[in-house]
Amino acid sequence: MIIFHIICVISKYYIADIKYFPDQIIYYQFDLNGEFNIPTIYQGLMIFLSSINLYLLGYFEKKKKYKNYFYAMSTIFCFLAWDEIIGIHENFTTPLRNILNPTFFLYEGWTILYGILTLLFFLIFYKFILKMPSKIRNLIFTSGFFYVFGELVMEYFSGKLITLKNYVHLSSIASEPLYIVFYTLEEAFALIGILIFNFALLTLIRIKIGNFRIDLID
């Protein structure tokens, strides 16, 4: 997805003059900053997979306390998957921007709310994750760093760029080279983060449950 996106950006801004080159069609299908396209659906499905993996871990967990942690995380990632696909967080941007009038790093209003929720998530689940096998624990913390750095930290830098350049509409900054670098890194880190997270969960399933089969038909 990342490689296709980079190729599409180059084609759109540097070789768009080639006759019959389908740069626009390909670009919008693989633009990591786009909505309702291939990368968005892919990332949403990857997060849904995380939710399913967490549910399975909760289902097979024998300790009730740990079971509830897995189920809670599964619910959160199910929401994040829908959020990724249909862009729920975008609905918070304008109201929060009108109320708080944020600038620079906090220009994208939804990052304020999600930043607070991310901190709460960390405080609630930190001790639970620490009790996991060291390999799994390290992978989960690594995946969390990648995902949060991509989705929140890089979004902060994009917000600062927008306010410094006094852009009113997102379309007017879309061709800004630095903005392209920011959102490419943002989405790339998020994709890598969720990939590592799923690998950690599948490894934990293998450790806790072993091999198993789900029969859909008797």
43 domain-assigned: no
Please, which pLDDT band fits residue 17 given cuts at 50, 70 and 90?
Answer: low
83 domain-assigned: yes
* 27-86 residue pLDDT tens: 778 888 777 788 888 999 999 999 999 999 999 988 888 999 999 999 999 999 998 888
Rounded Cα distance between 162 and 12, Å, is: 21
Percentage of the chain exceeding pLDDT 90 = 36
Residue numbers of the domain that contains 57: 48-208
Query: CA of 217: how far to CAs of 56, 209, 213, in Å?
Result: 19, 22, 12
Judge whether 34 and 24 are in contact, CB under 8 Å. no
Judge whether 9 and 176 are in contact, CB under 8 Å. no
Give the chain's domain count.
Answer: 1
Report pLDDT for 156.
72
Overall pTM > 0.85 = no
Rounded Cα distance between 186 and 179, Å, is: 10
Report pLDDT for 162.
63
Report pLDDT for 58.
94
